[in-house]
Amino acid sequence: MTTVARAAVLREVGQPMRVERITLGPLAPGDVLVQVKAASLCHTDLEVIEGQLACRLPAVLGHEAAGVVAQLGEGVTTLAPGDPVVLSWNPHCGQCFYCGSGQPILCAQYLANGPRSAHFDGRTRLACDDGSPLHQLMYLGGFAEFCVVPAQQAVRIPAAMPLDRACLLGCAVMTGFGGATHVARVQWGQVVMVIGAGAVGLAAVQGARLAGAAQVIAVDPHPARREMARGLGATVLCDPAAENPAEVARALTEGRGADVVIEAAGVPAAFRTSLEAVRPGGQVVWLGKVGVADEVGFRWGSLMQEKRIVRSSYGGARPQQDFPAMAQAYLDGALHLDGLVTARIRLDEINEGFAALKRGEAIRSVIIFD
């Protein structure tokens, strides 16, 4: 059985996406058809649009999405039609060296099939209206009314969770919150600096707060984003254009520097600042990124004194455990997501939404599918 849906299709780098009719399916064993209810616009999608990140075209982008299960492929027993789900962009085989080492983000099959921009088994599940193959970004293709994913990518969440906020859990919130809790392992009473107050950074601020950090320093050049960070748990605000973040950290710690620095801005200056601001023996977690061929320079002395540096793409995600837990934390009032959604748009407005993201006007614009 196949499904016909509307989707935003990118056919050429640097050009607007076009909303087209596509065909999904038939489902293979282990597949799940998800009716997408909400999908948010992420900088990773923008990198594909601008040609900084390779993806086979034509393709449906979108990897932060939530919806309801519409149909199950053969052998799927962990989900049922109607289940609300958040989608994960990191399917993994569970059998390779990296999966066995507890690093599913490095799964050999995941990394091998990613450049094909297809399904996890390397085959496409989507087709254009004329029957030609249509690719998916990051195993999802969430900018469509429906998507097909392996069952492990569809993670059931509490039914009370609003899906226009649930979609943020699938990438930005997982990366930032997990970067603080799983990767940095923020401890009670520590001083934590978060550089960049976008969606990922604001989630990291909350992760640090909930982990018991005594001080959370939010660094961002935009006053409104700094104030948002304050509302989410930051205790100290720093405008890097007006003061040196490293000096701010040292002033709070008898000259040592922050115990943990989480970089979530994705600019060379922020990476350098992360190393200058962390204390000797402290932990640096890089969540942001620059172009894969770009170079970032550092003062050698900033790398010394037993500092620990980790680059994380997904905040140590354990989607089956983390997504439901974060959704429940939102429902309990501990995790705040409402303010991260700065615009709700229709699928036909997707190009305008990405233009606003590029201009820095949006934290997260969310496409609402009726």
What tens digit of pLDDT does each residue of 152-169 get? 999 999 999 999 999 999
Shared domain check, 201 and 97: no
Residue whose C-alpha is closest to residue 276's, from 238, 249, 240, 239: 249
Distance from C-alpha of 214 to C-alpha of 349, rounded to nearest angstrom: 42
Shared domain check, 185 and 302: yes
Q: Hey, what are 271's tokens?
A: 């990476």
Shared domain check, 163 and 75: yes
Shared domain check, 300 and 163: no
Shared domain check, 106 and 32: yes
pLDDT for res 117: 86
Match 């233009």 to its residue by tokens.
Answer: 355
User: pLDDT-based confidence at 370, cuts 50/70/90?
Assistant: confident
pLDDT for res 114: 83
Shared domain check, 209 and 137: no
Shared domain check, 205 and 63: no
Query: What percent of the chain lies above the pLDDT cut of 70?
Result: 100
Query: Cα-Cα-Cα-Cα dihedral of 6, 12, 16, 22, to 10°?
Result: 0
Q: Residue 218 belongs to a domain with what CATH number?
A: 3.40.50.720
- Domain's final residue, options 286, 311, 336: 311
Distance from C-alpha of 363 to C-alpha of 27, rounded to nearest angstrom: 35
Q: What is the pTM of this model?
A: 0.95
pLDDT for res 119: 84
pLDDT at 216 exceeding the cut of 90:
yes
Shared domain check, 352 and 255: no
Shared domain check, 27 and 138: yes
Q: Residue 8 belongs to a domain with what CATH number?
A: 3.90.180.10
**What is the helix (H) or strand (E) element at residue 138, kind and residue range?**
none
Q: 3-class DSSP state for residue 363?
A: coil
Q: What is the 3-state secondary structure (H, E, C) of 113-128?
A: HHHHCCCCCCCCCEEE
Residue whose C-alpha is closest to residue 342's, from 361, 368, 370: 361
Shared domain check, 207 and 147: no
Distance from C-alpha of 263 to C-alpha of 183, rounded to nearest angstrom: 12
Packing angle between helix 223-231 and helix 199-211, nearest 10 degrees?
30
Q: Hey, what are 359's tokens?
A: 């201009």
pLDDT tens digits for 257-298?
999 999 999 999 999 999 999 999 999 999 999 888 889 999
- DSSP class of residue 27 equals P
Q: What is the domain count for the chain?
A: 2
Domain limits at 124? Answer: 3-171+316-368
Across the chain, what does the average pLDDT equal?
95
Distance from C-alpha of 99 to C-alpha of 115, rounded to nearest angstrom: 19
Between 46-60, 67-81, 112-126, the lowest mean confidence (pLDDT) is in 112-126
Match 């934390």 to its residue by tokens.
Answer: 329
pLDDT tens digits for 293-315?
889 999 999 999 999 999 999 99
Please, how many CA atoms are within 13 Å of residue 358, restricted to the half-sphere of its CB?
A: 13
Shared domain check, 306 and 332: no
pLDDT tens digits for 114-133?
888 888 888 899 999 888 99
Shared domain check, 15 and 72: yes
**How would you class 256 by CB atoms within 10 Å of its CB: exposed for 0-12, middle for 13-18, buried for 19 or more?**
middle
- DSSP class of residue 26 equals P
33 near 3, Cβ under 8 Å?
A: yes
pLDDT for res 53: 86
Distance from C-alpha of 100 to C-alpha of 26, rounded to nearest angstrom: 31
pLDDT for res 25: 85
